[in-house]
Amino acid sequence: MTHINPHVFPVSDNNFPVLPGRPITPERDGELLDAYSQAVSQAVEAVGPSVVNIEVFHASDASRGGGAGGSRGSGFLFTPDGFLLTNSHVVKDGVKIKVTTADGRHFPAMLIGDDPHTDLAVLRIDASGVPAAVFGDSSRLKVGQVAIAIGSPLGFYATVTAGVVSALARSFRSGSGRLIDGVIQTDAALNPGNSGGPLVNSAGQVIGVNTAVILPAQGICFAISANLAQFVASQLMRCGRVKRSYIGVAARNILLPRRLVQFYKLPHDTGLAVQAVEPGGPADRAGILPGDIILGLDRKDINGIDDLHRLLTEDMIGKHTAVKLIRQHDLAYLLITPDAAQVDNPPG
């Protein structure tokens, strides 16, 4: 049996140790609860009016006489003239989108643009002077701080759940196959219908866009960071899509032969094996062939397809740079100029 030294930690009448400092009394416990409750309530009051419910109708819904929409989700207004953010997977293949605001008004919504690679989409409703949520700086988040999710899970409008930021800088694969970096993990409960709603800090600022939950696990939920969401939203509002570059290859990750790694003193033992090259594309013009193993681009190492995706940003469009590769056991460098990716371009 463990004995507690009363001179180190005083023991209460119930034989539980009392930590040094201000005693935990019923009154003090109430104060702590009130402080937490007030923080959550104030954050909800600040952001709640900007949260919307989204109902999406698909072409197949016509056969059901225009009944319930094929998918439902959440979103939030971020400008006073009706622009709102949600998830790409919420509005995918929708032919008609209806938005219900927090005050019960219904609006048809126009899809401004969507980006499946980050699972984000921007819609607009014909409304002015609507309450707009304020973004926070997600780069300043700390593990353990309060995180509040607002949305319409399973059709229950304006549902609030609260938890903490469980982890930062997670990676999550989007439906398109690209890896989304800087994802926020939280234990604020999410359910189908929460997708696209805001994740909010105690100051009432949007720190993320709720996007996924891992089932059957409990308390493992993910949100796209607010900083990435703002960047994507600005691109979608300006161009209708996010500008990226591409080199025109189909490739897969491989493990390099150990002797090659040792002979060339490579910093990693994986590479990107080219399986096909798009005729007339940047890789074809550069002389890249099926069977080549790409190791680097623009003086940066490539361990696999995710590294290539990270490097192929808008800044690389039209930039003359070197691609490092192995061809038939020989190390080589070729000059390549990535093109602007189109909607139907291959992922590499």
Is 89 noted as a catalytic residue in this protein? yes
Q: Match 């025109």 to its residue by tokens.
A: 248
Q: Which of 88, 89, 245, 309 is catalytic?
A: 89
Q: Is 143 exposed, middle or buried (0-12, 13-18, 19+ CB in 10 A)?
A: exposed
The whole-angstrom separation of Cα 77 and Cα 133 is: 6
Q: Which of the following is catalytic: 71, 88, 115, 119? A: 119
Strand partners of residue 148: 162, 200
**Residue 3 three-state SS:** coil
User: Measuring CA to CA, which residue among 99, 23, 13 is closest to residue 56?
Assistant: 99
Lookup result for tokens 């002389």: 287
Q: Identify residue 154 by its one-letter amino acid code.
A: L
Q: How many CB atoms lie within 10 A of CB 161?
A: 20
Q: Is 103 a catalytic residue?
A: no
Q: Does the annotation count 58 as an active-site position?
A: no
H/E stretch holding 29 reads helix 26-47
- Among the options 138, 152, 195, 225, which is catalytic? 195
Please identify every residue annotated as catalytic. 89, 119, 195
